[in-house]
Structure 1
Amino acid sequence: MLKNAITFFLIIFLYNSSLAQRPQVKKKRVQVETFNSRPKLVVGIVVDQMRYDYLTRFESKFSNGGFKRMINEGFNCKNNHFNYIPTYTGPGHASVYTGTTPRYHGVIGNNWYDKEEKKSVYCAGDNAVQSVGTSANSGQMSPHRMKTTTFTDENRLFTQMRGKTVGISIKDRGAILPAGHTANAAYWFHGKDEGNWISSTFYMNELPKWVKDFNTEHSVSKYLKTWNTLYDINTYTESGSDLNSFEGGYKGKETATFPYQLDVLKDTNGGYDLLKATAYGNSLTADFALAALKGEALGKDDITDVLAISFSSTDYVGHNFGVNSKEIEDAYIRLDKDLERLFNALDKEVGRGNYTVFLTADHAAVNVPAYLQSVKIPSGYLNNAKTKKQFDTFMEQTFKASDLVENVSNNQIFLNREKIKVLGLELNDVQEAIVNELINYEHVDKVYSANTMHATEFTRGIEALLQKGYNQKRSGDILVLSDPAFISYHKTGSTHGSGLNYDTHVPLLFFGKGIKHGQTLQKTEITDIAPTMSALLGISFPNGAIGKPLEFILD
């Protein structure tokens, strides 16, 4: 027994000795996220009316420092879509930053009929505030009609209001809605005979010195120069002919062809507002954003700031000239240069690797139906006068009343519910009768009642998109969808608003701190952006967000 005990202790001793002679393996340190692991600055870029295919169509004309830099260094979501109807500017900007749709954030259009006030209201209009930087009422704006928070709001709350938020856009709604309710500032462009960047008393009582200096020292007159193509127009093979019958053009010029002498055209095209509808409007926006970067000392400490920039001039150019025009191609080539300037400034002022950027659009656009018709694609224009006459006759013959409709806008019909009660009619019966009537009209594809929208849960198809854009309190009684590529618009230029791919498919690019390099064809939705940025920052999601964080893009 003693022999066995000695053997046992000998084995233990030898085992422990062998362990002592083994090389020590260092334990892997667990990386704990600290406040400094967040980017110092998040830059959100929305390009107004940018179709996804502009990235691929114009790729050969882009430099390596703009769109291509985002693709080459960051992550490209190639199958990104809006997931609701209508695809307009106001709802688009709100949805990007709130992570939800009009069903919840309440911005159901740029303008809509207010059923309580009995009048049309503007998504950013606010008579309770005053203009700052102009005596015109163009500064009476705020985000008060947006019902939910943005990720910019959540970042302000998370940082105890120490992280700054600044919104910038030529369009007021493009600056205001992304900046959210708690923004330090939002600035937009007032053209006409002034040509200044302005704000409202919702944010401040006086413009900061750097804004005043910009308005004084950077006279917008310098942007009113001749607009010609940046490169030889003969190399613009990615777009249609310069002279055609599908473009609008500017007042005072017989043809919608390059070059455009903007200083000459100014007085007949709204004064300095003309800049909005040219490629130089984006350059003006980029210059102001660069001034804001320095003037607000954005990204200079470890508390995350947010700079929300919307480039709006691409929308004006698209509406005027169409998505297949030489003008739209040149606008994107020049925007690419402006982005390169912006990214270079971020490298210098904030530091490469210290900031994060995302880029998307607020909607895309349909090709000019007249052009589509010329190449035998089903498309066309709605005859609203004919439809109204037919519908009015139906209402009078069916209900013996001519005043049951209060408003028709945004492809919705708002009924006079008080009148319906007086006549002893049932609202649901009136709605269904109208649905059954309108579905028979030429180029009407689908019609739904409000009762159907809030009584039925759609999970797929165009109906699901329509429902996500339907707000029970603000939307109309009847919702109408037209045939694909049939629009209510001029015979020249492009528009948007539908739930079809030409309006919903937009870019989604990420690059910078915390972003992987890669690409995906997996479908992503516009409401995924805000939760993704919230996850990157480690902050609460916006309070109405329905999107999901795109974890495969996060490093």
Structure 2
Amino acid sequence: MRAFLSVFIICLLFSCKSQKEAMSSKNTALNTQPKLVVGIVVDQMRYDYLTRFYSKYGDDGFKRLVNQGFNCKNHHFNYVPTYTGPGHASIFTGTTPKMHGIISNNWYDKVLDSYVYCAGDTTVQSVGTLDKAGQMSPHRLKTTSFADENRLFTQMRGKTIGISVKDRGAILPAGHTANAAYWFHGKDEGRFISSTFYFNTLPNWVQTFNNSAIAESYLKEWNTLYDINSYTESGSDLNAFEGGFRGKDNATFPYDLKALSKENRGFDILKATPYGNSIVTDFAIAAIDGEQLGQDNFTDVLTVSFSSTDYVGHNFGVNSKEIEDTYLRLDKEVARLLQKLDVKVGKGNYTLFLTSDHGAVEVPSYLQSVNIPSGYFDADAFKAKLKSAIILNYKAEAFIKNISNSQIFLNREVIKGYGLKLEDVQQAIVNEIIDYKHINKAYTATSMSTTEFTSGLESLLQKGYNQKRSGDVLYVLDPAVIKYSKTGSTHGSALNYDTHVPLLFFGKGIKNGSTLEHTTIPDIAPTMSALLGISFPNGATGKPLEFVLD
């Protein structure tokens, strides 16, 4: 009996030990979240910027992310319009403008009968400046970001900090519950600012940064990082397809930024140079130290948007020496940020992803010079022609309240007063404009609301269509046709040059590899949520990319 009892006790002890080990193993498996998640958005980065300049990148920036991380090579926006505000919102909310409501950077508000800005908020005040540039918040974003969900999950213990040159590039990714969002205010100040949506006074580390004269140090010569003759991946430096800066006769290197700043809004000139990205890196590094990000057991989120790539692209175009130099320098900024994360947070303790808010078209005037179909849309002529057209026996001007963002907003009260049906007027306008020069497609809001499109351009339009905020008629321009100046690049379409962007995952919990499987922008936030073991953003429509996670 005594022997049996001894055996029983030994078995019981082993059983308890094995259960404890199993529970410990289970707890370990469920608590492997990174200390810090870093979401990087490179504004206006086409996918081919990753491949075109690859041979000239160093080993510690983009190449490190590609070689040690996971590369989604066939990554696309699954909606239009492809603009900065909607792009940043979609990346971090895991859904499209149909759900999150940021339908453009600026749009016509049907209720207010005026234009609104995606991050504008007159109910808050500027912090860090007396200028109105700080009157911003995420109040027009209708859904949560994965950073919001992380804050909720950690009982607000996990921090969220958003940083960018652009206000919308800092505010929308950080979401509604962020500890702070900071953006660069140029003019004669050259400092990072915020709004009373977050706090009433800038933290000491931000004030120290602003008082350090770092911004002023970048008002210097911008010349090519390497010998300009080695920049064989871009066109000639002197050409007819670039904008340039006021005060300089042509858009060629070098640029004396201090001298040129006088005619180019002071410190704002930095935004359209690689040094705008440099100061964002400087500030992000200061934030990692100042906020002690990634230093406890609660996952923090840092969002960093490099916006100067967009300003340079708009000014000089996709094929310019300036854009090549900007990306070669950005590669070094990415490396610098990674090095800081390695030291401060620790290798293997953070997870990072890098993507873009949209791509960009080659300058149409350049495409025309090499016989590729392209052109420019005369918006004023379009509006004049449409308003003078006869629609259902009435002059169309009577029906139209606003034309903007490739949408036509109708005056519903007037239409009702004439005894007409709204859907009939919408369709009549579609029938009218479809034959106009450079109009490729046109659709009614009724069709967007009543028909489910599962593929093609119609599906992308529908995912970008918000029933309360979008217009009554949507139109699409021909490929490589833009409403823009004849110099520089822009974006906004459903075509591959605007939708195909990089997506790189790196760090803790990420596999090493690549895929050509089609992935979409709304997949990013659910993937981050799955990695963290938290709720998906409340409006998320994307899916976790299981093959990315280790």
TM-score (normalizing by structure 1): 0.94
Partner of 2:187: 192
- Aligned counterpart in structure 2 of residue 32 of structure 1, from 2, 7, 26: 26
CA distance 1:547–1:174, change in 2 (3 Å): same
Is the 1:74–1:511 Cα contact (8 Å) retained in structure 2? yes
**Distance in structure 2 (CA, Å) of the matches to 1:186 and 1:385:** 37
**Distance in structure 2 (CA, Å) of the matches to 1:297 and 1:46:** 22
- Aligned counterpart in structure 2 of residue 57 of structure 1, from 48, 52, 56: 52
SS of the residue corresponding to residue 168 of structure 1 reads strand
SS of the residue corresponding to residue 211 of structure 2 reads helix
- Aligned counterpart in structure 2 of residue 348 of structure 1, from 343, 359, 363: 343
SS of the residue corresponding to residue 124 of structure 1 reads coil
- Aligned counterpart in structure 2 of residue 422 of structure 1, from 417, 420, 427: 417
**Distance in structure 1 (CA, Å) of the matches to 2:119 and 2:222:** 31
Q: Deviations over 1:383-442 (max 9, x none)?
A: 223322221221478314633211111000000111111222211111010000011111
Is the 1:266–1:274 Cα contact (8 Å) retained in structure 2? yes
The amino acid across from 2:200 in the alignment is N
Q: Deviations over 1:75-113 (max 9, x none)?
A: 000000000000000000000000000000000000000
Partner of 1:7: none
**Distance in structure 2 (CA, Å) of the matches to 1:298 and 1:342:** 13
Does structure 1 residue 126 correspond to structure 2 residue 131?
A: no
Within-5 A mapping of 1:525-540 = 525-540=520-535
Tell me the number of residue pairs that the alignment of Structure 1 and Structure 2 aligns.
Answer: 530
Q: Deviations over 1:19-61 (max 9, x none)?
A: xxxxxxx999754244641100000000000000000000011
- Aligned counterpart in structure 1 of residue 463 of structure 2, from 468, 477, 492: 468
CA distance 1:398–1:390, change in 2 (3 Å): farther
Q: Deviations over 1:176-200 (max 9, x none)?
A: 0000000000000110011110000
Partner of 2:247: 252
Partner of 1:360: 355
Is the 2:391–2:428 Cα contact (8 Å) retained in structure 1? no
**Which blocks of at least 5 consecutive residues in structure 1 are unaligned?**
1-25
The amino acid across from 1:377 in the alignment is I
CA distance 1:395–1:212, change in 2 (3 Å): farther
**Distance in structure 1 (CA, Å) of the matches to 2:370 and 2:297:** 55
Partner of 1:480: 475
Partner of 2:510: 515
CA distance 1:401–1:258, change in 2 (3 Å): closer
**Distance in structure 1 (CA, Å) of the matches to 2:239 and 2:393:** 46
The amino acid across from 1:523 in the alignment is H
Residue 147 of structure 1 deviates from its aligned partner by: 0.2
Is the 1:40–1:304 Cα contact (8 Å) retained in structure 2? yes
Is the 1:396–1:402 Cα contact (8 Å) retained in structure 2? no
Does structure 1 residue 100 correspond to structure 2 residue 95?
A: yes
**Distance in structure 2 (CA, Å) of the matches to 1:425 and 1:245:** 50
**Distance in structure 2 (CA, Å) of the matches to 1:213 and 1:84:** 41
SS of the residue corresponding to residue 254 of structure 1 reads coil
Is the 1:131–1:140 Cα contact (8 Å) retained in structure 2? yes
Is the 2:388–2:395 Cα contact (8 Å) retained in structure 1? no
Partner of 1:22: none
Within-5 A mapping of 1:448-467 = 448-467=443-462
The amino acid across from 2:208 in the alignment is D
Is the 1:439–1:445 Cα contact (8 Å) retained in structure 2? yes
**Distance in structure 2 (CA, Å) of the matches to 1:91 and 1:249:** 27
Is the 1:166–1:183 Cα contact (8 Å) retained in structure 2? yes
SS of the residue corresponding to residue 522 of structure 1 reads coil
Identical counterparts, % of pairs: 69
Partner of 1:262: 257
The amino acid across from 2:34 in the alignment is P
SS of the residue corresponding to residue 372 of structure 1 reads helix
**Distance in structure 1 (CA, Å) of the matches to 2:303 and 2:488:** 28
Q: Deviations over 1:246-285 (max 9, x none)?
A: 0000000001000000001001011111000001000000
Is the 1:36–1:302 Cα contact (8 Å) retained in structure 2? no
Does structure 1 residue 496 correspond to structure 2 residue 491?
A: yes
The amino acid across from 2:26 in the alignment is V
The amino acid across from 1:291 in the alignment is A
The amino acid across from 1:511 in the alignment is F
Q: Deviations over 1:165-186 (max 9, x none)?
A: 0000000000000000000000
Partner of 1:46: 41
Is the 2:154–2:298 Cα contact (8 Å) retained in structure 1? yes
Residue 352 of structure 1 deviates from its aligned partner by: 0.5
**Distance in structure 1 (CA, Å) of the matches to 2:346 and 2:107:** 43
**Distance in structure 1 (CA, Å) of the matches to 2:196 and 2:458:** 40
**Distance in structure 1 (CA, Å) of the matches to 2:465 and 2:507:** 36
**Distance in structure 1 (CA, Å) of the matches to 2:522 and 2:270:** 31
Is the 2:383–2:403 Cα contact (8 Å) retained in structure 1? no
**Which blocks of at least 5 consecutive residues in structure 2 are unaligned?**
1-16
**Distance in structure 2 (CA, Å) of the matches to 1:174 and 1:443:** 31
**Distance in structure 1 (CA, Å) of the matches to 2:172 and 2:405:** 20
**Distance in structure 2 (CA, Å) of the matches to 1:170 and 1:403:** 41
Does structure 1 residue 155 correspond to structure 2 residue 153?
A: no
Which structure has the bigger radius of gyration?
1
Partner of 1:12: none
Partner of 1:13: none
Within-5 A mapping of 1:173-212 = 173-212=168-207
SS of the residue corresponding to residue 393 of structure 2 reads helix
Residue 301 of structure 1 deviates from its aligned partner by: 0.7
Q: Deviations over 1:118-149 (max 9, x none)?
A: 10000000011000000011000000000000
**Distance in structure 1 (CA, Å) of the matches to 2:389 and 2:396:** 10
